[in-house]
Amino acid sequence: MAAPYPGAMDTRPAGLVLARTPRLFGIEPFYMELLGGIEGALAEVDRAVMLQVVPDSAAEIATYRRWAADRAVAAVVVVNLVADDPRIGLLRELGLPAAALAPASVRLPVARVTVDGASAMREAVRELVALGHRRIARVSGPRALVHTRERDEAFAQACAEAGVDHVVAVADYTEEAGAEAAAELLVRDPRPTAVVFDNDVMAVAGARVAKERGLDVPGDVSVLAWDDSALCRLASPPLSAMSFDVDALGRLVGAVVLELLEHGEAADRAAVEHRFLARGSTGPAPA
């Protein structure tokens, strides 16, 4: 294993690699807000973040190898974990200190900032059930992601415990996939009376599809977005959301990175939980 990078006088940036299309990165607010939070924490000690957007996981691995060879970054932030994620072992092999954004249920040999998506999903289902919904759908992100599976399991369990019907459509966070999934769900018989979308972009697209099909939001179908953003607030009607302070999450990640670089290790930190924020897109289930 390569020797760890010295941290005390090291002013190199932290590195963040996102394996996704540049177009999606440009329209999805989550990662811009996360990046802003990390940058805000690091800027307090005159550090920065180096962002690399790549098309796939192979290019992400190649980026880490190049960064290690060039000593381009002092530490790496890992997001979008998959099962048995190969990046964790690789970064340890390369001697790159790493902080991972991870579900609370996942144990890792690197410092973590945890997000309890399972509890948030159970809260989302409870809120919709309290509004009288008995047929609830979910439009998820890619199934390969650990946090998607965590939310899937929590959604199924919460719906089963409440005795309500549920269905999941798999998408990829894009507007097109969100619209396609919504169109598929809204022609089901019986039709879901509420749909939980895994991000704001898909939720806006889904609400548009519902209205194009002559359905009232929320009179015929309630729409709930995951995370909150300006997209949710500017939609018509404004979208209810499982609201989450993404900037604060980024600052926690930045704090873990700084602790790693100063001490060689860092304590895990837990993000503040999501909360249900009611706006105009959720209401009582139709009779």
Each residue's pLDDT tens digit, 215-274: 999 999 999 999 899 999 999 999 999 999 999 999 999 999 999 999 999 999 999 899
- Is residue 49 within 8 Å of residue 38, measured between CB atoms? yes
Alpha carbon of 201 to those of 18, 88, 173, 197: distances in Å? 18, 29, 7, 9
Residue 145 has what DSSP assignment? B
pLDDT, one tens digit per residue, over 72-94 is 999 999 999 998 999 999 999 99
Angle at the Cα of 152 (from 225 to 79), degrees rounded to 5? 75
Average pLDDT over residues 129-153: 96
**R_g of the chain, CA atoms, integer Å:** 20
**C-alpha torsion sign, points 278, 279, 282, 283:** positive
Residue 186, phi then psi, degrees to nearest 5: -80, -5
Which two structure tokens, joined as six digits, stand for 117? 């998506």
Q: Residue 7: which pLDDT band, with cuts at 50, 70 and 90?
A: very low
Residue 20 is predicted with a pLDDT of 76
Q: Tens of pLDDT along 171-223?
A: 999 999 999 999 999 999 999 999 999 999 999 999 999 999 999 999 999 99
Residue 104 above 50 pLDDT?
A: yes
The CA distance from 54 to 70, in Å, is: 18
Place of tokens 């190049």: 66
User: What is d(CA 142, CA 122) in angstroms, rounded to the nearest whole number?
Assistant: 20
Say what the pLDDT of residue 159 is: 98
Q: How high is the pLDDT of residue 5?
A: 44
- Please tell me the distance from the alpha carbon of residue 5 to that of residue 187, in angstroms, as a whole number: 56
pLDDT of residue 66: 96
pLDDT at 24 over 50: yes
What share of the chain in percent tops pLDDT 70? 94
What's the rounded Cα separation, in Å, for the pair 221 and 52? Answer: 39
Burial 87-103 (b: 16+ CB within 10 A, else e): bbebbbebebbbbbbbb
Does the structure show a pLDDT above 90 at 41? yes
List of domains in the chain: 14-115+245-273 (3.40.50.2300), 117-243 (3.40.50.2300)
**Six-digit token string for 243:** 């609201």
Distance (Å, whole) CA 56 – CA 19: 5
